[in-house]
Amino acid sequence: MNKEIRAKIIGVGNYYPEKILTNHDLEQMVDTSDEWIITRTGVKERRIAAPGEATSHMAAKAAKEAMKNAQILPSEIDLIIVVTVTPDMNFPSTACFVQQRIKASNAACMDLSAACAGFPYALCVSQALIKSAQYKTILVIAADKLSSITDWKDRNTCVLFGDGAGACILRPTNSNKGVLSVYLGSDGRKADLLYVPGGGSLNPASYRIIDERMQYIKMRGSELFKIAVKKMVDCAHEALKLCKMTTDDIDMLVPHQANIRIIKAVGKRLNLEDKKVFINLEKYGNMSAASTVTALNEAVLKKVIKSDDIVVLSTFGGGLTWGGAVIRW
């Protein structure tokens, strides 16, 4: 009997901008303190893209690292998916700019927008396309320049976000490794808990939009907290259920790196020891979907995740969107 075909990650790569913005730097910008930020968020520093450094620049650098790690040529890539909420421009897609930068001339290109939960969404699409044999080598990149939509006068949000990109190469396998399951969900009724109201077709760019600072992230953090914890726990349970596993099977949880209190609450509700929850939030802050990818990649590169480990991803973001995945490494 033929074994099931699934997508397997064969190479990973991260990119972080050089500039580091510390909590002490933020103390000079808004009414806040290092202690306040660490206590409430867990973030100590974050990376900020250089002037003129767009999402596609960061995405391409992460992609090149992933291709090097996977030992594949640009010409072998069939499809490029860029997960982002900060595209270079409305169109063409950021994926097209990445294609140009990495010279992947044979690839189809598209962007995917699911905010911080975007990586499991991209894994779901990749899994389906690989199972159908329509594509063989898929490059998934999560990249965001959140500094470009962060209100640096809003002390409640500006302390959270940073810039960066993470990439992975997926190919088919008939082994027992790879993406075992993906679980996705959304609730558009609560879109106004985390969104950018200005700059789209509803509120196009104008002097009014700028005067009212509508081009920046708006967030109702206290309302999001409880929902985020519940949905991230649900994500893990549902994704595990799809492949007939339980939390006892988890070797490593890689959650969206949004807030240390959310991550700790999720780990506690899943009855996981601290060593089974990977956290790098303190160094990079929240980079939207890139947070989960870069954390996964960092855990792999540091050999915290080993061959045959069961890795669970759990994410939550604006939309509202959420997603979980189970991967046998």
Catalytic position from the list 124, 256, 259, 297: 256
Catalytic position from the list 116, 124, 168, 235: 116
Question: Three-state SS string across the chain, please?
Answer: CCCCCEEEEEEEEEECCCEEEEHHHHHCCCCCCHHHHHHHHCCCEEEECCCCCCHHHHHHHHHHHHHHHHCCCHHHCCEEEEECCCCCCCCCCHHHHHHHHHCCCCCEEEEECCHHHHHHHHHHHHHHHHHCCCCCCEEEEEEEEHHHCCCCCCCCCCCCECEEEEEEEEEEECCCCEEEEEEEEECHHHHHHEECCCCCCCCCCCHHHHHCCCCCCEECHHHHHHHHHHHHHHHHHHHHHHCCCCHHHCCEEEECCCCHHHHHHHHHHCCCCHHHECCCHHHHCECCHHHHHHHHHHHHHCCCCCCCCEEEEEEEECCCEEEEEEEEC
Catalytic position from the list 14, 259, 286, 297: 286
Catalytic annotation present for 286:
yes
Catalytic annotation present for 256:
yes
Q: Which residues are catalytic?
A: 116, 256, 286
